[in-house]
Structures are given as C-alpha cells and as structure tokens.
Amino acid sequence: MSFLREWRPKAADRLDKVEADLAVLADAIPENDITTVVVSFGCPTNRMIADGWWEAPKSIPGFEGGYIALVDPKVGWHEGNIEVGGVKGSVISVVHSTGMHGGYYAVTVVLSSSTQ
C-alpha cells in the first residue's frame, strides 16, 4: 500500500474509501448477508433525455423498491453524488463508458440481501 500511495495517491485514497464503506456495511449488515449488484444504464433516446432520463432514479435489479438516485442532479452520476434508497446499501464504484447520448454507466452497489 505504501508503494501505491507514492505511485498513485488518488487510487490509494479511493481504495481507502472503499474499505471504509465496506467497514460501515460490515457493522450494519452480517457478512453472509452482503450482495454486490451492478446497475447498468445509458444510451437514452432524445425523447428520454428530454423527459429527464439522466436525472431520474434507476432501479436496482432484483431488489424491489431499491433504487439509486442523484444527490445533486447538476453534478451527475459520479461517486459521492449517488445515494441508495429503498434498501440498505452503499455505492462502491461508478464507471462511465463513452457512447451515444451520454454513454453508459455501471454503478456497483453493495446491499443487504435480506432486503430482496
């Protein structure tokens, strides 16, 4: 980790944040009750964009009532600006891939599987 801190300090900080998020979840959720889900979305049509596609909450597959939503719609789908609702969980990563009409996002969420 010391090598990583010298070579890639931002990556080391990101790993520290992921570890801290997982530690908080471990305290709140039993270890055998954790599920990782990737919420993938993107490439909306022009009409969908006009109707607020990028600002609208996205449902979490397999978790009825679970969703991810933006804290501040002006900032967009970035780590620290996404909240988990309807279920107990936390966002651990956000990956953006370029493409038409804003591209695609893959948001990885760690959830309590007892809330399925």
Question: Which tokens in the block code for residue 92?
Answer: 């651990």
Closest-CA residue to 37 (of 68, 11, 15):
68
- If you search the block for the tokens 């009750």, which residue do you land on? 33
pLDDT in tens, 10-28: 877 877 877 777 776 666 6
**pTM reported for the whole predicted model:** 0.74
CB 57 within 8 A of CB 85: yes
Rounded CA-CA distance 58/89 in Å is: 14
Angstrom distance (rounded) from CA 17 to CA 99: 28
Residue ranges, the chain, pLDDT below 70: 1, 24-32, 113-116
pLDDT tens per residue across span 59-71: 999 899 999 999 9
